[in-house]
Chain A
Amino acid sequence: MWEYLQRNRVGLAAAVLLTVSLLLLTSSVRKYRNDPVGYLVLEALRPLQGAVAAGWASVRTVWQSYIDLVGVREENLRLRQRLAELEHQTLRIAEILETDRRLAELLKFRTQFLGELQAAMIIGRDAFPAFGTVIISKGEADGVRKGMPVVSAQGVVGRILATSRHSARVLLITDHNSGVDALVQRTRARGIVVGTVDGRCTMKYVRREDAVAVGDRVITSGLDGIFPKGLLIGEVTQVTRGTRGLLQIAEVRPAAALDQLEEVLVLSPGTQWRGDTSESREDEKPASPGL
């Protein structure tokens, strides 16, 4: 018997302890009790757990700060990209709105003509600043021919200098080879508006006794057989009248901002201008229909 117990002491001890465990288990299922050993273990572990928790919190704080920093950097980059996209979109929208406004103005202006017109975009400018020419997006295929007048909603632009199948060159009124028969709207004084090498316009061959003053509007006379009568060319900014001679010279600022133009109208031969009838353009009305 003793020998059996000795030989199986581990198994017997395990059986006893398993039984004790089950007794503990069944008693604790009924009611949880506060164990003194558990109290001691908790007390023994508390400072260690506190230290580990504090250390972990520090590590986590440092790590989280690093992660946050990386996150902020990534978010900053993402927001910068988004901002750039939105700025690009804003520019596109503004551009679309501006184009829309110009085209609406041009369309409105177009209704004031009797005859065939071609709307064209300016697709190129003269490479040499001394020459005032631009290239437009319409050519012979669209009915554009040499000599046709070109206008914008603001005023006279120039005339067709040369054409190709799908584009054309326009000689601006500021080019020194350009000449437009013109009238001073207020006094009907007649002259020729020519371009200058430095890109301005002057009205030449105005009789000395004709009244011309700064601020007067200069319009096309229609006598050159190119431009319809009554189109606004520009405004007198300076009058030069010498002590001798029969003529005087007026400097004219073009009504159309020629260096900023993007769309123009090409007028077919025989096109007539009816004049502006809208209220908004009443004060800009260059000439009466009866001119």
Chain B
Amino acid sequence: MSVRQASLFVVYVLGALLVQTTIVPLLTRGAFTVDLLTIYVVYLGMRRHTVGAVVVAFFVGYLQDTISGTLYGLNAFATTLVYVTVYRISRHVWVDNAVSQIFVVGLADTLKHAVTGLVLAMAWGVERLGGWAAVASWSVVATGLLSPLIFAMLQRAEEVASPEGD
């Protein structure tokens, strides 16, 4: 990973955290969220099959843990799992068009919500997860629909950030 690519990662993750913690909650009033970090993890899982990408996926989740919730490692676990799942899928299925991106991102976000929901249910109890399914469903749909745009942006930014001939 070059310095430019690392800078791109930092800028994107910080930007995504900023958007997810400010604009999205204000616009959706908590009804659902758009998981921009998951889209990035899926992007990595589809295109970067390296140990560094796994670490980035873990770190993305860990960063989210630092400003979200009270369970450290929850998002880190989920994003790492998402990365591994997408990584496995992308080795067998051609996922480079908008529809497949929406499908895979939707699947990945479903997996992430399922994992976090499961962990929270184990930690807190099922009765405290009222409305979780509805919020998760809308979030999966919104995140999936937004993913082709984010993918295009990331690809363009990566092209700009990549050293010549890379």
Contact = CB atoms under 8 A, between A and B. Distances in A.
B77 A35 contact: no
Interface string A5-28: 000011101100110111111111
Interface in B40-72: 49-51, 53-55, 57-58, 61-63, 65-67, 70-72
A18 B70 contact: no
Task: Give the dominant DSSP class at B's interface.
Answer: helix
B95 interface: no
A10 B58 contact: no
Chain B interface category by residue count: 35 or more
Contact of A49 (B18, B61, B72): B18
Interface stretch (B19-27, B28-36, B127-135, B147-155): B19-27
8 contacts: A13-B55, A17-B58, A17-B80, A22-B77, A28-B72, A38-B67, A41-B17, A42-B66
Given A42-B67, A45-B21, A24 B83 contact: no
A45 B81 contact: no
A14 B72 CA distance: 17
A52 B18 contact: yes
Interface string A34-51: 010110011011001100
Contacts, number: 99
B3 interface: no
Nearest to A33: B72
Q: Most A CB atoms within 10 A — which of B21, B62, B70? A: B62
Contact of B55 (A17, A18, A38, A44): A17
Nearest to A56: B26
A28 B71 contact: yes
Given A18-B81, A45-B18, A56 B54 contact: no
Interface of B: 14, 17-18, 21-23, 26, 49-51, 53-55, 57-58, 61-63, 65-67, 70-74, 76-77, 80-81, 83-84, 87, 119, 123
A49 B22 contact: yes
A252 B64 CA distance: 102
Contacts of B73: 20-28
**5 closest cross-chain pairs (CB), A and B:** A24-B73, A38-B66, A21-B77, A25-B73, A28-B72
Contact of B72 (A24, A41, A53): A24
A32 interface: yes
Contact of B76 (A17, A49, A52): A17
Nearest to A39: B66
